Structure 1
Amino acid sequence: MNKGKVWLVGAGPGDPSLITVKGLHCIREATVIVHDRLVNPKLIAQAPDTCQIINVGKTPNHHPVPQEQINQILIDHALAGKNVVRLKGGDPYVFGRGGEEAESLSRHKIAFEIIPGISSSIGGLAYAGIPVTHRDYSSSFHVVTGHLCQGNEPQNWHALAKTEGTLIILMGMTRQEEICKLLIEGGKSPDTPAAAVMYASQPRQKIAKGTLSTLKQEIENQKLHAPALIVIGNVVNLSEILSFASTQVDISHESLQLVEAM
């Protein structure tokens, strides 16, 4: 039997209509879909009726399907001649462990392809009215993880405090208070604008805005919880001007159907 192929597909930040045309095509041609927890169910519903759906989703500190097992699932189905879609939230290579999975496939000489997706670190914040760069406020942005692999060196928050650009933290909600404290200790002003965004790009999106010193209280007031984005920098002040959430129309179903004609 000929080997199959694996497509590592970025599903985008949450709004299903933000997936790429190529990513949606892969889903509709898949014989197996291996998906993460945060992938919008509307995308999975685009798969053929005969497609095998495998949920390998993880929650903080709870990984029912270890990464090594996920790698093996992809390998086994590809070796069985299947068209496998590994459907991941955001972009496969932005803290999505897509690089590890691609390495594993390469070692087994299995054909694979990366279908980039819109990262929540950019697209999710855009939906909250927060541009990661702006000529008047920030000429760079830095995306970091608040949750490092066990055994890795801890993030140097004191060094990050000295960066001038927008600071975007993924997977940092459980350590939000500690992170803000370390950034202040590193020299960042306690009055630096800061925000957290939950359910980014979706109709149920929620935002908590404050400063480094008040963000914890604002998160509690708005009842935000993980997973959520944290963004720090003057661009946060643009959110009221640039937010379009109140005028957002859910066109995801129509958008997904329109792709059939392309």
Structure 2
Amino acid sequence: MSPFPPEAPTPGKSGRASLVGAGPGDPELLTVKALRRIESADVLLYDKLVDPRILDLAPAHARRIDVGKRCGRHEMSQAAINRLIVAHARAGSHVVRLKGGDPMVFGRAGEELEALAAAGVPAEVVPGITVACAAAASMGMPLTQRGYSRSLHLITGHACQDGGADEALPAHDWNALAACDGTIAIYMGSRTLGQVTQRLLAAGLSPGTPAIAIENATLATERRLPGTVADIAAVVADAAVTGPTLVLVGRVVALRRRDAVESAMTEVRSRAA
């Protein structure tokens, strides 16, 4: 079945698009506005990382289309996704483009907004909780704190051609990152983590700088893999991670709650479930 609608638009019905952040995974972390948009969707275009429980919140009549976006695995090109959003909106549907995390953080929402504007389709962006914030919160760890971190840097660990072919590492300013005296959040970097950490070390970051990898943040399958910038790549490789993984680097990592406080946080979450 074609993912595209019939060519003829629905008479008297005006379509629109909502680019919605589904958050880091746990459905409880959806915003109220995101929930309302999902509940009013006619067509739901979703990435593979969106939890199935979130898809279940859409109306029974809503058409659900998996556009297959995941780091290194793109079953549909971004250009094709853009055309799909426009086509369904022009057919009179309320299209919800559902993305993991926040649409504007490594979500390519800007390209979709450009395509919608060029097509004259009304569009909005509904923010979501990005995984760096959610993962830190799940550990009781601040991303910034006086005396530990004065800045937060969100970077991607890979550059990827549309269609999934990996390129070289992105052209980050490694010297600036190593000297930032802040927290570095590495998105989509589990496969290139060794290269990323080597660049940071070569730029002067102390080998003993705390680091932690979080796989499947906020889900029941969440794993936390602590280390230092010198060994975190080996720790992640030894753990054979398969789920989406974020890596946090910086002195604030040492502030995460690992004892009774963390146990209490886990208990609160389980009681609220």
CA distance in 2, matches of 1:199, 1:62: 17
The 5 A counterparts of 1:108-257 are 108-150=119-161, 154-241=171-258, 243=262, 246-247=266-267, 248-249=269-270, 251=272
Could you say what secondary structure the match of 1:174 adopts? coil
Question: Which stretch of the first structure deviates more once superposed, 94-103 or 60-69?
Answer: 60-69
- Residues in 1 aligned to 2:238 and 2:132: alpha-carbon distance in whole angstroms: 23
| Residue 49 (structure 1) aligned with residue 65 (structure 2) | no
Give the aligned partner of residue 96 of structure 1. 107
Residue 224 of structure 1 deviates from its aligned partner by 2.5
Further displaced range: 43-52 or 237-246: 237-246
* Deviates further, 107-116 or 118-127: 118-127
CA distance in 2, matches of 1:86, 1:179: 31
SS, match of residue 249 in structure 1: helix
- Structure 1 stretches of at least 4 aligned residues deviating more than 4 Å after TM superposition: 149-153
The unaligned stretches of length 5 or more in structure 2 are 1-10, 162-166
Shift of 1:149: 4.3
Q: Which residue of 1 aligns with 2:81?
A: 70
Q: What SS does the aligned partner of 1:195 have?
A: strand
Q: Which residue number corresponds to residue 4 of structure 2?
A: none
2:17 corresponds to which of 6, 30, 33: 6
Displacement of 1:22 in angstroms is 1.0
1:139 aligned counterpart, secondary structure: coil
SS in 1 for 2:191: helix
Query: Would the aligned equivalents of 2:72 and 2:160 in 1 still touch at CA under 8 Å?
Result: no
Q: CA deviation at 1:251?
A: 4.5
Distance (whole Å) between structure 2 residues aligned to residue 133 and residue 44 of structure 1: 33
Which AA in structure 2 matches 1:46?
Answer: L
Residue identity opposite 2:206 in structure 1: S
| Deviation of 1:202 (Å) | 1.1
Amino acid across the alignment from 2:97 = R
**Separation in 2, partners of 1:74, 1:251:** 36
Q: What do residues 128-183 of structure 1 show as CA deviations (whole Å, max 9, x unaligned)?
A: 33321122311211111112244896223233212111011101111101111110
User: What is the aligned length?
Assistant: 252
TM-score, length-normalised on structure 1? 0.90
Report the alpha carbon displacement of residue 239 of structure 1 after superposing the two structures with TM: 1.8
Q: Which has the higher mean CA deviation after the structures are superposed, 150-159 or 185-194? A: 150-159
Distance 1:179 1:250 in 2: 39
Q: Is the 8 A contact 2:174 2:199 kept in 1?
A: yes
Query: Take 1:221 and 1:130, find their aligned partners in 2: how far apart are those partners?
Result: 24
Distance 1:86 1:188 in 2: 39
Cross-structure match for 2:117:
106
Offset, 1:62: 2.6
Whether the 8 Å contact between 1:38 and 1:89 is mirrored in structure 2 is yes
The C-alpha deviation readout for 1:184-235, integer Å capped at 9, x for no partner, is: 0000000000110001011211011010112123224443345200110011
* Structure 1 residue identity aligned to 2:266: S
What letter is aligned with 1:230? V
Give the percent of matched residue pairs that are identical in Structure 1 and Structure 2.
Answer: 39
Structure 1 residue runs without a partner (length 5+): 253-262
Match of 1:173, SS state, is coil
User: Counterpart amino acid of 2:178?
Assistant: A
